[in-house]
Structure 1
Amino acid sequence: MASIVWDFFTVSEEDISRAICTKCSANIARGGNKTSSFNISNLISHLKRQHRYDGVFKAYEDASAAKEAPPKLAAKKCPGLVPIAAAFEKCKKFSRDDPRAKAICDFIMEMMALDDQPFTIVEDTGFCRLVNHLEPWFVLPSCRYFSDVCLPAKYDVIATLLHTLIDGNKDISFTTDLWTCDASPVSLLGLTAQWLDKDFKLYRAVLHAQELPGSHTATLISEAFEDMLQRWNIAKEMVHVVLRDNGRNVVKAMDDCGLASLGCMAHTLQLAVNEAVLSQRAVSDYIAIGRKIVGHFKHSQVASTALEKLQERLQIPKTRLQQDVATRWNSTFYMLKSLVAQKQAIAAYAIEYKLPATLSAHQWTLVENMLTLLDPCEQLTRSISKATTTAADVIPSVHALTCLLKQTVPTDHGVKTSKDTLMNAIQTRFGHIEAEPLYYLATLLDPRYKNRYFTLASKRQATEMLREKLHSIEDDRAAHGSPHPDEPPAKRSRADGNNNNSLMGMFDEILEENNEATVHQKNTRVDADLESYLSEPTLHLSRCPLEYWRSNQSRFKCLVQLARKYLSAPCTSVDSERLFSAAGHVMDERRNRLTCEKAEMLLFIKKNLPLIHPELTKTVEE
């Protein structure tokens, strides 16, 4: 009776003394040159040695056991024994179209986008070994398969979903920015969108990070912007506002497109602080000294180690000094703050070692007072950079900051001129905000603020503008046969809450001074709804305005429609800046030959994956 091993081998046609493995085509000797000396030991050894982990040797063992065992005994011991044909089928690798193989490729493609991994990771030995261990039957495709097949396929899936989500939304807000890559001579124009659906759920999406070659003129930006909107079938009537930087070319480009646009609040605050404080001679002098001190420890491991020993000796927390970035004023703030925190250790170091520059006692006092002056600006920068911040936060934030700067405090010594200059710069750069409809209507429709943060004249103008828009909506509804329901509005109470933060404390002070809403005669249902809404106590700053409107849709139907429009707008272009922070990781030195088209697809997938996998929202935002 022929051995079961011959199910896995065939006799060589060229030499009967050798057998060919049907699995790997290996040529194996049968034990000698004469027929009488032929045996199967070498064949079994080959299966055991070469095919132990791919299932073939296991199939041979199972088949041998089934053949040699008595029928009844085999049935008892091996009730789950599979036929040889089934065993071979089980050992086959996944085909490219197998659902399991597609799922694995999909996860690998998402990993490449999320973790900024190059396509060539699928050729790395360690990654190949890991995948083979986790799923031996999966054949890892080439890097070209992922770049040319998987990448466009995943892009199309997300783009199709995004088209569905955007379709039908009337008021979409955008942010845009320009970025130049350090690793390659490439400039990108970014476009992000955010909007509120009917249930006040906030959606954010990256639409483009497309290449913008040549000189960045207003005409070129305008044409590129209109092309991006057309590719997503977004009519200009659907654009609520575009948040952009204060560059003249970008401002003119938005005007040429006929789109409402506003400057990024963070960028405007950056300009105000730079021109009013950091550019002053005395301030710039001790900032320059601070940079030299930080640079000394950054570039010398010996100096850094010595400072750590002094920190330990003086029982000061071991923290590294921070280097600033010239284009970010708050990074200079953090640098000075780290120096003040390590002032004692730095002074001790200067006694034992040599520093390139030192701050005098007077300069240390000025630094500390300057940090106190700039602290509210830093708080404001962090606050408006949050993903939940909207255009409604601009007027109250600037009002609170201005009131805080008007106060006289002991730490004004030596920085009073800087303080006055900063207040003037803020009033100059933000002086128009109470006259900007988008800002004051958004503020009125935010239940945390309403009309409590306006001057008297601005309060009346803003309230009347809101009233006119509500009457316009009511007239349109009546014309279409949908009269406003006549249920009486219920009262809402303000949530209690305390905040010891100085800037937040100023919000509470302003609110206490203006806690009575302006009273109007209730001539119509619209007037009654508006009066009811404005007369209710404001929500605490920690509450979410979108949750308020979500639960009050049936009470203020006209107000809800405007709230959905005006609370969709951010107050900064931080989303676009975060997009290009991610772009810096995608287009780095390792991938300096990556085409802009593929880079844009990778960024698109990375930033929009939360639309498919909501659990990734926090990861992507970070």
Structure 2
Amino acid sequence: MSQWDITHKVTDLVTDGAENMGVCARELRLRHTICVAHTLNLLIKKALDQNPVLSDIRASSRKVVGYFKSSTTAKERLTKVQEQMRWPALKLIQEVDTRWNSTYHMLQRVYDLREPVGAALAGLRTEIAPLSSRQYEIIAECLKVLSSFNDATVELSEEKRVSGSKVIPLLSMLHHALEEEMGLVQTPENTAMAESLKRQLREKFNNLQSMSIISLATLLNPRFKKIGFFSPNKAAEAEKRLTSECCKLWHRLDATVLQTRTQTCHCGHNSGGPKIPG
């Protein structure tokens, strides 16, 4: 940072939750903030991985997608079936282990192309079996539960705009969206996943509203202000924190101005004018 002359510009170090990153921040004497998008990715992956039925569905989906991507014959067959059924020319999407929303996009595309994929597999010599109607039912509900999490991930991963002030409002909206979906979910597999997500959201982000840099960013964003918080109490705490910070800045500024004036007066007094001989 010294080499690039950016030390005075760095106010926060945003990383994943690895312990060595925390050590690095302490060594550099920088405020350390754990990346919310990364944390969100981890908790969703955990909720999916802990669910045996959803894990089996994902494995079956990966096999189907992998087959159509690796076989030219299967790929051509699927394209032809889509044309015959006057289906949109969509391609299957494979899951990537490091990005949870690739799982979301894979399941979404597998569900959207369930009829063409089933028809294409029926005309091919393969041991790859299409997903069952029960599995598609579970996928449909799973996508509804995860839809708001996908939107939040996209918003928090934005590179061209600052996202710090959006964190608390987005997590608040996620909480409310999850509450609504839990009232509509009927399959036990998705109920278990939703409960896991709700529990992890509370555990991972419970103290987020008390973080100075995040809460102040939310309060100072004219779109959110105090309505962006989970509760009025947290908004009041942030407002009190902002007032305190403003007072500190004012006192520092006042002291600087006073020191400058004192130095100016002192220099003027010492310089004086030319002495007139008596």
Per the normalisation by structure 1, the TM-score is 0.39
| Cα 1:232–1:311 shift into 2, 3 Å | same
Aligned residue in 2 for 1:413: 186
| Cα 1:310–1:238 shift into 2, 3 Å | closer
Q: Which runs of 5+ in 1 are unaligned?
A: 1-228, 483-622
* Structure 2 CA distance for aligned equivalents of residues 244 and 314 of structure 1: 47
Aligned residue in 1 for 2:202: 427
CA RMSD in angstroms, aligned pairs only: 1.7
How do residues 355-434 of structure 1 correspond to structure 2 at under 5 angstroms? Answer: 355-386=127-158, 387-408=160-181, 411-414=184-187, 415-434=190-209
Matched, 1:231 2:3: yes
For residue 481 of structure 1, report the CA deviation from its aligned partner. 4.2
Would the aligned equivalents of 1:293 and 1:355 in 2 still touch at CA under 8 Å? no
For residue 255 of structure 1, report the CA deviation from its aligned partner. 1.9
* Structure 2 CA distance for aligned equivalents of residues 248 and 260 of structure 1: 14
For residue 408 of structure 1, report the CA deviation from its aligned partner. 4.3
Structure with greater proportional strand content? 1
How do residues 222-621 of structure 1 correspond to structure 2 at under 5 angstroms? Answer: 229-235=1-7, 238-353=9-124, 354-386=126-158, 387-408=160-181, 411-414=184-187, 415-454=190-229, 455-481=231-257
Q: Which runs of 5+ in 2 are unaligned?
A: 259-278
* Structure 1 CA distance for aligned equivalents of residues 48 and 107 of structure 2: 14
Q: Which amino acid aligns with 1:241?
A: D
Aligned residue in 1 for 2:274: none
Aligned residue in 2 for 1:34: none
* Structure 1 CA distance for aligned equivalents of residues 183 and 255 of structure 2: 62
For residue 390 of structure 1, report the CA deviation from its aligned partner. 2.4
* Structure 1 CA distance for aligned equivalents of residues 224 and 171 of structure 2: 13
* Structure 2 CA distance for aligned equivalents of residues 357 and 258 of structure 1: 56
Q: Specify the SS of the correspondent of 1:261.
A: strand
Q: Specify the SS of the correspondent of 2:162.
A: coil
For residue 242 of structure 1, report the CA deviation from its aligned partner. 0.8
* Structure 1 CA distance for aligned equivalents of residues 76 and 6 of structure 2: 57
How do residues 104-253 of structure 1 correspond to structure 2 at under 5 angstroms? Answer: 229-235=1-7, 238-253=9-24
Among the aligned pairs, what percent are the same residue? 27
* Structure 2 CA distance for aligned equivalents of residues 306 and 340 of structure 1: 18
Q: Which amino acid aligns with 2:114?
A: K
For residue 437 of structure 1, report the CA deviation from its aligned partner. 0.4
Structure with greater proportional helix content? 2
Would the aligned equivalents of 2:215 and 2:238 in 1 still touch at CA under 8 Å? yes
Aligned residue in 1 for 2:266: none
For residue 384 of structure 1, report the CA deviation from its aligned partner. 1.3
| Cα 1:380–1:453 shift into 2, 3 Å | same
* Structure 2 CA distance for aligned equivalents of residues 398 and 365 of structure 1: 27
Would the aligned equivalents of 2:182 and 2:191 in 1 still touch at CA under 8 Å? no
Q: Specify the SS of the correspondent of 1:473.
A: helix
* Structure 2 CA distance for aligned equivalents of residues 268 and 247 of structure 1: 11
* Structure 2 CA distance for aligned equivalents of residues 458 and 425 of structure 1: 20
Would the aligned equivalents of 1:372 and 1:411 in 2 still touch at CA under 8 Å? no
Per the normalisation by structure 2, the TM-score is 0.86
| Cα 1:262–1:346 shift into 2, 3 Å | same
The alignment of Structure 1 onto Structure 2 pairs a total of residues equal to 253
* Structure 2 CA distance for aligned equivalents of residues 420 and 280 of structure 1: 11
* Structure 2 CA distance for aligned equivalents of residues 409 and 442 of structure 1: 31
Q: Deviations over 1:421-447 (max 9, x none)?
A: 111111211112111101101111111
Q: Which amino acid aligns with 1:319?
A: L
Q: Deviations over 1:63-86 (max 9, x none)?
A: xxxxxxxxxxxxxxxxxxxxxxxx
For residue 456 of structure 1, report the CA deviation from its aligned partner. 2.2
Aligned residue in 2 for 1:620: none
* Structure 2 CA distance for aligned equivalents of residues 479 and 326 of structure 1: 55
* Structure 2 CA distance for aligned equivalents of residues 255 and 357 of structure 1: 53
